[in-house]
Amino acid sequence: MKALVWEGANELAVRQVPDPQLRNEQDAIVRVRKTVTCGSDLHLLGGYIPFMERGDVLGHEFLGEIVEVGPQVRNHKVGDRVVVCSFVSCGKCWYCQHQQFSLCDNGNTNPMITENVWGSAPGGCYGYSHALGGFAGSHAEYIRVPYADQGAFTVPDEVSDERALFASDSAPTGWMGADLAGVKPGDVVAVWGAGAVGQMAARASVLLGADRVIVIDRLDNRLQMAQTHLGVETLNYEQQDVSGELLERSGGRGPDVCIEAVGMESHSSGPQFWYDQVKQQLRIESDRPIAAREAIYNCRKGGSVFVLGVFAGLVDKFPLGAVMNKGLTLRGAQQHGQRYIPMLLERMARGELVTEHLATHTMPLDEAPRGYDMFKQKLDGCVRAVFQPTS
């Protein structure tokens, strides 16, 4: 089959790879209809997560049709149109049974790497390096889906492929950030990052009853998109004083909830960007935590900060003093998608959650390297590039 593979840092190619096979009785094989770039892929692409091999298939946010099932798959059959959670989770271990699906004990076939680096292994993730299981990704014609009854969700007829696609990762990740950060009616919420995950976190905050939701980015097209499609306020950090604006818009208190949806390649208009950039390139620190620092600094006393952006390792100048002295609650997680996807599909069916605007560019899989270049460089207003492997 055809697939987009990682050939080395900043090197992608579409080439033939072996078709996936059922390896376990709870597996399904899905023919991929739509698969989309994610900002976290850029960390792999750029070589910041050193657990990739030449030939690894990228992609973890996708939708398709089941073409084969193992004998223990009970809830799905051939022909089902499904959206698949990006995390591989068994649904049976203690973490899954406590709705913390991305922490699954059994979903990662290479647990040693993350147990050494982080102390414990989270579950697996499609197309996200051998640290998270080495599972082939979704930028391919077909993909193997382990624990299919747990991770694949039938899409209601009234929800289009274009909308349901984002129920795989962006929407549940964003929703989880707002939910686990404790957004409640009356809150002021600030979201750093107007990519798909940041926009979904902002929309979730609105739906959870936040009084004001403010999205922060540097790209006007994304901020305009957030205003138009989500009904939220925006701040352009290259043109406005973020701290001053947030204080002014929150009665001088600071936001009740601050959500970081940027991750380890954060940008800034100030000298701190170059400080972190140099240290990251020299591998003195692995991640640039600029937005996380700002979220902590600007959060109100006793408020809540949630880290949704992907971080891999170690950061420098982390404001632990602010966390402690302001009594903040700091939390983060990879997405517990299985917990939210059924509810999100219902909201999509009712029109409460729209996502089509995120897919700014759609193209055949053959053009995926160009799509990633557009996505990485933010060319032509690209927010997400969607690939259609079997169109």
Partner 1 sequence: MRWLIGGAVVVAGGMVARRLLGGTDQGDGHRQRGQTQRRGPRWHVATVNRPAGDVAPGGQLPEPLAGLGDAVEVQLRPAPGDQGTEIAVRLRDGSRLPVAAAARRATGRDPEQAIRAALRESKQLIETSEVLHPDYPPTTEPTPMNKPLRMATQQGRREGRL
The binding site for partner 1 (CB under 8 A) comprises 3, 5, 8-10, 17-18, 20-21, 23-26, 46-48, 50-57, 72, 90-94, 97, 105-107, 109-113, 115-117, 119-121, 130, 133-136, 144, 146-147, 281, 283, 286
| Residue with smaller CB distance to partner 1, 81 or 376 | 376
| Residue with smaller CB distance to partner 1, 70 or 174 | 70
Distance in Å, CB of 336 to partner 1, minimum: 17
Distance in Å, CB of 144 to partner 1, minimum: 6
Distance in Å, CB of 280 to partner 1, minimum: 10
Going by the DSSP 8-state scheme, the letter that residue 269 receives in this structure is S
Distance in Å, CB of 257 to partner 1, minimum: 29
Tokens encoding 277? 């950039």
Distance in Å, CB of 111 to partner 1, minimum: 4
Distance in Å, CB of 122 to partner 1, minimum: 13
Taking the alpha carbons at both ends of the chain, their separation in whole angstroms is 14
253-281 residues labelled b (16+ CB within 10 A) or e (exposed)? ebbbbbbbbbbbbbbbeeebeebbbebbe
Helices marked H in the chain — which ranges? 41-45, 94-97, 111-118, 148-151, 161-164, 170-180, 196-207, 220-230, 242-249, 271-281, 290-298, 320-325, 337-350, 368-377
Q: Please report, as a single letter, which amino acid is at residue 55.
A: G
- What lies within 8 Å, CB to CB, of 216 at 6+ separation is 190, 191, 192, 193, 194, 234, 235, 236, 237, 242, 291
| Residue with smaller CB distance to partner 1, 105 or 161 | 105
| Residue with smaller CB distance to partner 1, 106 or 304 | 106
Among residues 213, 256, 248, the alpha carbon closest in space to that of 233 is found at 213
Distance in Å, CB of 17 to partner 1, minimum: 4
| Residue with smaller CB distance to partner 1, 9 or 379 | 9
| Residue with smaller CB distance to partner 1, 3 or 358 | 3
What gap in Å lies between CA 86 and CA 104, rounded to an integer? 13
Tokens encoding 76? 């799905």
Among residues 163, 173, 38, the alpha carbon closest in space to that of 101 is found at 173
| Residue with smaller CB distance to partner 1, 117 or 323 | 117
What gap in Å lies between CA 245 and CA 294, rounded to an integer? 13
Whether 125 and 86 have beta carbons less than 8 Å apart is answered as yes
Distance in Å, CB of 48 to partner 1, minimum: 8
| Residue with smaller CB distance to partner 1, 142 or 237 | 142
